[in-house]
Amino acid sequence: MKPDNRFSVMGRAFAASILLLTLQAAHANGIYAPYVDVSLYPTPQIDRIGMTQGIQQFTLAFVVSNGRCTPSWGGVQPIGNGATSDLLTILTQSIANYRAHGGEIAISFGGAGGVSLMQTCTTVSALKAAYQTVIDTYHLTHLDFDIEGPALTDAPALERNFQATAQLEADYAARGEWLHVSITLPAMPTGLTPAGLKALNMAIANHTTLDTINAMAMDHVWPHLDMGTATISAAQALYAELYTAYRSAGQAKTDPELWQLVGVTPMIGRNDAVAEFFTIDNAQHLQKVAMDNHYGFASSWSVSRDRSCPDHATYTSPTCSGIVQEPYAFASIFTAINGHWGNGVVRDPGYRGSAPTDTSTRGLSIGAIPQSP
């Protein structure tokens, strides 16, 4: 057999690691990319939210399986291959408008609801093709994998996932480009859960180059817990876990490199767990600590919740925080973490965007699916 004259996966992964060092320096201010629940109706118009609030980038959630090895929003709306709907039209136009004004997006695969593509696509090549469909549809350079529920303990699915992502990264690197990959994992104040830590180690073992390991700091179900302190504790513990994981894999990293890998995502306002609230004061504390320690990434679940509920009610909802607050009060704090993936958004409180250019397609719009990441 003749050797392949293209870069090997390992060779391309090495090239990717060189690119990563350059890009980490460019993002030294840290990234704030709040989650957007695309399953909500009406479809959130990210350009309007981003421009009026000065948010530099968003993480759009969640792409899952539609029951087969086909990507979809929320398990309902297929993506690519000629699919049309009001949701797709509005979302595509909103993304285009946002990018035209300097914003950028990541798309998150997985989440708490639905079935992950890594579970329904039974070969690495099929899974890679499903991810490629989403990448091509939305012209992506940033992917997030929110791994929880059954997927978190499905070792064959996890191995397929990280082999597919490593191959995608290598394909980009061979073209002199960069595919940014993050993983979002459940965490407690003491760090990643045992299953989350296993997933991290599997990603490293399968040569996936990670921009961020994002700790979901929410729904801890601990009595008398201050959620701000708990979130910061989770990030600090994650740093220590990353130190050990990369050193054990023969990939020891410096202190600044490790902090650039640290990400954290609180559920703003009332959490799903009873008596857990992430408050405005908590956000201010987290933002200061994140900037002082140079966290690479911060997010929140979710931007559509960044407002009080009607009549200042205190229930948990996908469309409000369950606490008394001003609209986008959390975003106004976290946007001080001002690194950007795109050319940079200049806040314009008067921005109203433009209507979708094609309203001829009529189809399915997803109803609210109240799932936290």
Summarize pLDDT for 69-101 with one digit per residue, the tens. Answer: 999 999 999 999 899 999 999 999 999 999 999
Domain residues for the domain of 274 are: 9-334
At 354 the pLDDT is: 64
- Does 359 reside within a domain? no
Please state, as a whole number, how many other Cβ atoms lie within 10 Å of the Cβ of residue 311.
Answer: 6
Quote the number of domains for the chain: 1
Whether 325 maps to a domain, the answer reads yes
Phi, psi angles (nearest 5°) of residue 216: -80, 100
Exposure string over 203-235, b if 16+ CB within 10 A, otherwise e: bbebbbbbbbbbbbbbbbeeeebbbbebbbbbb
Residue 47 placed within a domain: yes
CATH of the domain at 233: 3.20.20.80
> Quick one: tokens of 286?
């987290």
pLDDT at 311: 98
pLDDT of residue 29: 81
- Residue 343 within a domain: no
pLDDT along the chain (373 residues), means of 10: 37 49 58 98 97 99 97 97 94 98 99 97 99 99 98 99 99 98 98 99 99 97 90 99 99 98 99 92 99 99 98 97 98 98 98 59 34 48
Give the per-residue pLDDT at 359. 35
Residue 301 within any structural domain of the chain = yes
Rounded to whole angstroms, the Cα distance separating 86 from 82 reads: 13
Q: Is residue 119 part of a domain?
A: yes
In a domain? residue 372: no
338 C-beta neighbours (distance < 10 Å), count: 15
Q: Quote the tokens at residue 136.
A: 């091509």
Instruction: Report yes or no on 118 lying in a domain.
Output: yes
* pLDDT of amino acid 28: 63
pLDDT of residue 27: 52
pLDDT digits (tens, 9 = 90+) for 232-258: 999 999 999 999 999 999 999 999 999
171 by Cβ neighbours in 10 Å (0-12 / 13-18 / 19+) ranks as middle
